[in-house]
Amino acid sequence: MGGEAEGGERRLGRVLSFGIPDTALGLVMGYVEDPWDRDAISLVCRHWCRVDALSRKHVTVAMAYSTTPERLFRRFPCLESLKLKAKPRAAMFNLISEDWGGSASPWIRQLSATFHFLKKLHLRRMIVCNDDINILVRAKAHMLVALKLDRCSGFSTASIALIARSCRKLETLFLEESTIDEKENDEWISELATSNSVLETLNFFLTDLRASPEYLNLLVRNCQRLKTLKISECFMPDLVSLFRTAQTVQEFAGGSFEEQGQSVASRNYENYYFPPSLHRLSLLYMGTNEMQILFPYAAALKKLDLQFTFLSTEEHCQIVQRCPNLETLEVRDVIGDRGLQVVAQTCKKLQRLRVERGDDDQGGLEDEQGRISQVGLMAIAQGCPELTYWAIHVSDITNAALEAVGTCSRNLNDFRLVLLDREAHITEMPLDNGVRALLRGCTKLRRFAFYVRPGALSDVGLGYIGEFSKSIRYMLLGNVGESDNGIIQLSKGCPSLQKLELRGCFFSEHALAMAALELKSLRYLWVQGFRSSPTGTDLMAMVRPFWNIEYIVPDQDEPCPEHQKQILAYYSLAGRRTDCPPSVTPLYPTF
Amino acid sequence: MDLLERNIKKGDTEEEKARKEEERKEVDEVGERKTKTQDQEPQQQGQGLSLSLANGSARSGMLPMSNPSANPAQLTIFYGGSVCVYDSVPPEKAQAIMLIAAAAAAAAATKSSAATAVKPPMMPTATVAPAAVVSPVLTRSPSLQSTSVATGQPQVVADPSSICKLQADLPIARRHSLQRFLEKRRDRIVSKTPYSPAKSSDGMESPGMEVTAELKAQ
């Protein structure tokens, strides 16, 4: 760049900044935290892009392969907090093989050598090995305030111990749902207890890690600021003294009501003590005899997670009717329509509701009343107007129910519906009109999932989705459409759609390629279940610069319906992946 | 030639083919042809790709063909005058090979300056032997335009019943955390009451009675 051109740019920059010096500009930008707003700011001119980059505190890289660690550092050298995600979301549903990729090594190496202001690191669905943690700790232990290894794998408890004793400023240690080796060794908890006194969040919920009550007690005694404690399985009666000590704990998850090899029926939980500060709870394997543990505290509860309990429909009703202050409720569909009606009557402040899929076993392991239909859906829509996040698995549905959501649930920014395979006959199909009403009513919707069955959403319905999803950035569609026309119609709309996941729709390669090219904002596409073209060339119609295309072939040794081939495509400045396993073929770029 | 070297260096496709070769050694019944294939494969790879890059009119075609009376899942490749036959190729692998070839052609297409000037590769017939799950057999497809030219029309609507069948093979996936929990729940119920059928009871249970408590506990 010539001096003149540079001078011209600087002049332009200054004009656009109204003569405000960079320092001031950076400070003003510092008040803008929303990443979308920051993105807009950075596009004004090169000068503003630079000022934004230098003042940006946090970046989320939604797809780790979309850029390189070096590029990220070049743009955001002053970053204090980084979140990286790698494996497709489908990995949480056992659809991605362990060796697909997502190694954190290149990132951690870069972070450790540079990123001199980094205090917080969040890795989600990545592979982190012990060496990586060694390197990270050696470079950043004195600075690390938050470390989240979220649904990661590849490391052992020895590494956690290393983190525990080296990172004395650590306020957040998050390991939820990670797969960790040497799970029997819980020395790391003792290390944490003795090395750290500022810990506020410790989360190893849904891991297999052993956690002895003695070490947990030690931890709680030494870490007086502990607010969130989410552990693995630990017998509740053994935690009595823990709760007596932990007077600042607001959120607790884990525990267990299972005693090894003995009957639990004789215990009495009526007077189990929880600190008054505690108002978010998730207790594992809680059954009929144990649910009384909640009753004295139910009225104060803001969050309740019953997904991992052994309760019936009736018992869900009994608990929920005592919880008028709930803001977050997570259950399985055993709660039934009846339970949801109780929720609708009682939980007027509800903001987040998740109704997960229970057991399908026809032998009746789940409560026979444990089915959700349009009745429960409508009840919640009408009873809980504050909902912002709502994920639900239903066994039956009507258009009217979806219309009710559109009319009443105006605050929804995230709505996900799955229509299960349980009933042979669905009351009303197709659901085109209901979906249209829902999308027209829920104008704040940013994330939307609609996973149904053949016939539940026609091509016209897909057209409605395209037409009425102005702000939606993420969409998961399952078993929708009748023909390629459907996805073509959808792709003419959805102006904000950045991430699209399709499963079981079986559009042709050609249609997928056309849709990918048409969707204005698309930067990430995942497909499982598509019709192959005769020569394999149809998919290549979507070849374009910076658009990485991966073809994922199932594991041949274990053929399984869920391991059908997949397409993964995403914008990338990093070029072709160099770490593909045999099951992943990068189709583009070719070198 | 730069492009030639780069293509020869290109790891994946070659490796994939080499690997396929090793796998097919035992399975392949076409003795002589096999030897010829093995010799020619690596060279063809480099040549074929460079040919198609250098001038798009090369007869670089791959036609998986099925002979209904021969083995199912048989892949036949016509290339530069020789024929290679592979038995027992799983449909997904065949699809992968086709996609790789298509990708190479597409890369060539995007590199050539005039998007419309690239001559279509000669692929008059293309069928894949039908296998258990995927890809109904297709008949003649019209000669293809350059892959970089996007045609607006959607394809012919596929037979709805075949789509339904495909969809049946892709059941709704469960979240991992819940899957583990439900397995544990099943184990627990089975271990506590191994001889009684796991039925939900409607009756009231008293706290002391272990068996009914377990049955009711869901």
Residue A261 clears pLDDT 80, i.e. is over it? no
- Bridge partners for A120 per DSSP: A81, A146
Q: Give phi and psi for A333, each to the nearest 5.
A: -70, 0
If you average pLDDT over each of A253-267, B7-21, B113-127, B198-212, which comes out highest?
A253-267
Residue A361 clears pLDDT 90, i.e. is over it? no
State the pTM of this model.
Answer: 0.79
C-alpha count within 13 angstroms, C-beta hemisphere, residue A476: 16
pLDDT of residue B162: 62
Residues of chain B found within 8 Å of residue A418, distances taken between Cβ atoms: 172
pLDDT of residue A236: 93
- Specify the higher pLDDT residue, B175 or A17: B175
Asked if the structure places residue B93 within a domain, the reply is yes
pLDDT of residue A134: 97
Predicted confidence band of residue B99 (pLDDT cuts 50, 70, 90): confident
Predicted confidence band of residue B188 (pLDDT cuts 50, 70, 90): confident
Mean of pLDDT over chain A: 92
* Average confidence (pLDDT) over A85-114: 95
Interface with B, mutate which of A489, A540, A551, A562 (most B CBs under 10 A): A540
pLDDT of residue A61: 97
Residues 6+ apart with CB under 8 A from B107: A543, A588, A589, A590, B53
Residue of B nearest to A260 (CA): B188
Sign (positive/negative) of CA torsion B58, B64, B66, B71? positive
Q: Which domains does chain A have, with CATH numbers?
A: 23-56 (1.20.1280), 58-232 (3.80.10.10)
C-alpha count within 13 angstroms, C-beta hemisphere, residue A501: 16
Residues of chain B found within 8 Å of residue A483, distances taken between Cβ atoms: 154, 157-158
- Of A477, A574, A483, the residue nearest A526 (C-alpha): A477
pLDDT of residue B195: 66
In percent, the amount of chain A with pLDDT more than 70 equals 93
| Shortest distance, CA B39 to any CA of chain A (angstroms) | 23
Asked if the structure places residue B60 within a domain, the reply is no
Residue A208 sits at the vertex; the CA angle it makes with A207 and A210, to the nearest 5 degrees, is 115
- Specify the higher pLDDT residue, A264 or A546: A546
* Average confidence (pLDDT) over A288-304: 94
Q: List pLDDT tens digits, range A536-573.
A: 678 989 999 999 999 998 766 655 656 688 999 999 99
pLDDT of residue A474: 98
Reduced to 3 states (helix: H, G, I; strand: E, B; else coil), residue A449 is: strand
pLDDT of residue A517: 97
Predicted confidence band of residue A363 (pLDDT cuts 50, 70, 90): low
Burial of B11 (0-12, 13-18, 19+ CB in 10 A): exposed
B182 with A358: Cβ contact below 8 A: yes
Residue located via tokens 């970046």: A59
* Average confidence (pLDDT) over A235-240: 93
| Shortest distance, CA B132 to any CA of chain A (angstroms) | 11
Asked if the structure places residue B158 within a domain, the reply is no
Q: Which helix (H) or strand (E) holds B167?
A: helix B160-168
pLDDT of residue A370: 84
Residue A280 clears pLDDT 60, i.e. is over it? yes
Lowest model confidence (mean pLDDT) among A415-424, A515-524, B84-93: B84-93
Interface with B, mutate which of A95, A269, A537, A551 (most B CBs under 10 A): A537
What's the distance, CA A236 to chain centroid?
Answer: 28
Residues of chain A found within 8 Å of residue B166, distances taken between Cβ atoms: 504, 506, 529, 531
A365 with B200: Cβ contact below 8 A: yes
Q: List pLDDT tens digits, range B132-180.
A: 333 333 233 333 333 333 333 444 445 556 666 666 668 899 999 999 9
- Of A88, A161, A157, A73, the residue nearest A126 (C-alpha): A88
Residue of A nearest to B122 (CA): A535
Residue of B nearest to A364 (CA): B199
pLDDT of residue B160: 58
| Shortest distance, CA A367 to any CA of chain B (angstroms) | 6
A370 with B218: Cβ contact below 8 A: yes
- Specify the higher pLDDT residue, A536 or A265: A536
- Specify the higher pLDDT residue, B106 or A400: A400
Local structure of residue A159 (DSSP, 8 states):
H
Residue A503 clears pLDDT 50, i.e. is over it? yes
- Of A324, A316, A313, the residue nearest A291 (C-alpha): A316
Asked if the structure places residue B87 within a domain, the reply is yes
* Average confidence (pLDDT) over A364-375: 79
Residues of chain A found within 8 Å of residue B6, distances taken between Cβ atoms: 591
Token pair, residue A368, equals 């026979």
Residues of chain A found within 8 Å of residue B181, distances taken between Cβ atoms: 307-308
| Shortest distance, CA A391 to any CA of chain B (angstroms) | 13
B217 with A478: Cβ contact below 8 A: no
Residue A511 clears pLDDT 60, i.e. is over it? yes
pLDDT of residue A231: 97
Lowest model confidence (mean pLDDT) among A135-139, A531-535, B124-128, B186-190: B124-128
- The domain in which residue B97 lies consists of 71-109
pLDDT of residue B216: 39
Asked if the structure places residue B102 within a domain, the reply is yes
State how far the Cα of B97 lies from the Cα of B100, in Å rounded to an integer: 5
pLDDT of residue B101: 77
A549 with B189: Cβ contact below 8 A: no
| Shortest distance, CA B32 to any CA of chain A (angstroms) | 27
pLDDT of residue B198: 47
Asked if the structure places residue B81 within a domain, the reply is yes
Residue of A nearest to B124 (CA): A535
| Shortest distance, CA A569 to any CA of chain B (angstroms) | 14
B172 with A359: Cβ contact below 8 A: no
- Specify the higher pLDDT residue, A25 or B65: A25
Asked if the structure places residue B135 within a domain, the reply is no
Choose the closest CB to B189 out of A95, A365, A418. Answer: A365
Residue of A nearest to B177 (CA): A206
- β strands within A374-452, DSSP E: 389-394, 414-419, 447-451
State how far the Cα of A244 lies from the Cα of A256, in Å rounded to an integer: 18
Residue of A nearest to B142 (CA): A534
Q: List pLDDT tens digits, range A113-156.
A: 999 999 999 999 999 999 999 999 999 999 999 999 999 999 99
Q: List pLDDT tens digits, range A171-214.
A: 999 999 999 999 999 999 999 999 999 999 999 999 999 999 99
Instruction: Give the number of domains in chain B.
Output: 1
Predicted confidence band of residue B75 (pLDDT cuts 50, 70, 90): confident
State how far the Cα of A399 lies from the Cα of A402, in Å rounded to an integer: 5
Lowest model confidence (mean pLDDT) among A8-17, A45-54, A143-152, A345-354: A8-17
- Specify the higher pLDDT residue, A248 or B98: A248
* Average confidence (pLDDT) over A442-448: 97
| Shortest distance, CA B117 to any CA of chain A (angstroms) | 16
Mean of pLDDT over chain B: 52
pLDDT of residue A562: 61
Asked if the structure places residue B148 within a domain, the reply is no
- Specify the higher pLDDT residue, A505 or B20: A505
In percent, the amount of chain A with pLDDT more than 90 equals 82
B103 with A587: Cβ contact below 8 A: yes
Please answer whether residues A265 and A289 qualify as being in contact, where contact means their C-beta atoms are separated by less than 8 angstroms: yes
With residues binned 3-state (H G I as helix, E B as strand, rest as coil), the percentages for chain A, rounded to 5, are: 35, 20, 45
- Bridge partners for A82 per DSSP: A59, A121
pLDDT of residue A391: 98
Residues of chain A found within 8 Å of residue B148, distances taken between Cβ atoms: 541, 543
Reduced to 3 states (helix: H, G, I; strand: E, B; else coil), residue B38 is: helix
Predicted confidence band of residue B27 (pLDDT cuts 50, 70, 90): very low
Q: List pLDDT tens digits, range A299-313.
A: 999 999 999 999 999
